[in-house]
Amino acid sequence: MNKLLTLGFLLILSQNLKASDICSRSSQDLRIFLDQTHSRISFKNDGGLFNQGVCWWHNRMQRSSAYLVSYRPQLPPPTRPELLKILLSLRNMDSVVVIPGYEDFLTFSHDYKKEIQEVLDGWQKFDGFFNFQWIRGISGQSALPAGDMLARMRDVYTFYKYTPAPMWIMAQIKGLTSHSFLVLRMQEIANGYEMELIDSNHPQDTRKLAYYEGDTFLRVEGEDYTFVPYVGFQNDYKKIAKALQLRCGEKSLQLDLSNLQEGQIEL
């Protein structure tokens, strides 16, 4: 009995130490963490309605996993019920979760791609049919007059300064097409801005783009399509902050939402 108690105590202590990493990380820590391949989802944007992908929700799952997951590689892999609970918690962003049997999200998402894709597909359907988010995917503009584009980029940069990392943006492409990115970094340069992005179509890469005054749209390096950015799903951070506070208490206050503003796409 004493040995069992000791083992239980050590396990709880180990969990608390791991959780403290989650509780104390800043936005800068998250940027550095997400720079690393092992933090990323292993598979690219796929599936979805009419097989057009689930990029919006792929990005949101990537972000929630960065904030809300701790790992216990020394434990057995999750059972089916445990796996479903983990994935639904990451979708709902309502609690810190432990992934047993794994040490990073890259390997975990590789082994459970099918199950994660099913959750992403269901998430898209729910938002599309019940929250009417599909309308947002066809209602933006893919190019703006130069002055309007400058104003939009200044607006996006203001959002970026007061949003924890990474910030979600919709990329409105010509026609009925939209994509999305997570903005890891954005900085002012001479006559414009530079951005570093996580792209669900290239999930292990950090992609770059540059905007200069006079441009009427954005283009990611190496891509042919062009777009206008729209900030969205800022309210996800309210869910994440609440989940962290439930687990971490006052230690979660480093996630500063005091100047957080709603974007153009919200639930």
The pLDDT of residue 253 is 63
Cα–Cα dist 80/83, whole Å: 5
What b-and-e string marks burial along 73-106, b requiring 16 or more CB atoms within 10 Å of the CB? eeeeebeeebbeebbebbbebbbbbebbbbebbb
Size (the chain), residues:
267
Q: Please give the average per-residue pLDDT across 203-210, as a whole number.
A: 97
Q: Within a domain: residue 205? A: yes
* Dihedral over Cα of 238, 242, 244, 245: its sign: positive
Cα separation of 116 and 128, whole Å? 18
Whether 73 maps to a domain, the answer reads no
* Number of domains making up the chain: 1
User: How many Å apart are CA 35 and CA 29, to the nearest integer?
Assistant: 10
Residue 47 maps to a domain: no
Does the pLDDT value for residue 22 go beyond 50?
yes
Q: How far is CA 81 from the centre of its chain?
A: 24
For 95-112, write each residue's pLDDT tens digit.
999 999 999 999 999 999
The phi and psi torsions of 159 (rounded to 5 degrees) equal: -55, -50
Residue 259: per-residue pLDDT: 94
Residue 168 inside a domain? The answer is: yes
pLDDT of residue 149: 98
pLDDT at position 189 over 80: yes
Rounded mean pLDDT, 18-35: 80
Domain span at residue 160 reads 136-231
Rounded distance, CA 78 to CA 161, Å? 38
The answer to whether the Cα torsion of 244, 234, 135, 57 is positive or negative is negative
pLDDT confidence tier of residue 10, bands split at 50, 70 and 90: very low
| Domain-located, residue 173 | yes
Greater confidence (24 vs 156) lies with 156
Q: What is the mean pLDDT of residues 129-145?
A: 67
**Is 100 within a domain?**
no
**Structural domain includes residue 123:** no
Q: Please check whether residue 140 is in contact with residue 172, taking contact to mean a CB–CB distance below 8 angstroms.
A: yes
**140: CB partners within 8 A, 6+ apart:** 170, 172, 178, 228, 230, 264
Question: Is residue 60's pLDDT more than 80?
Answer: yes
pTM of the model: 0.88
Pairwise CA distance, residues 148 & 81, whole Å: 50
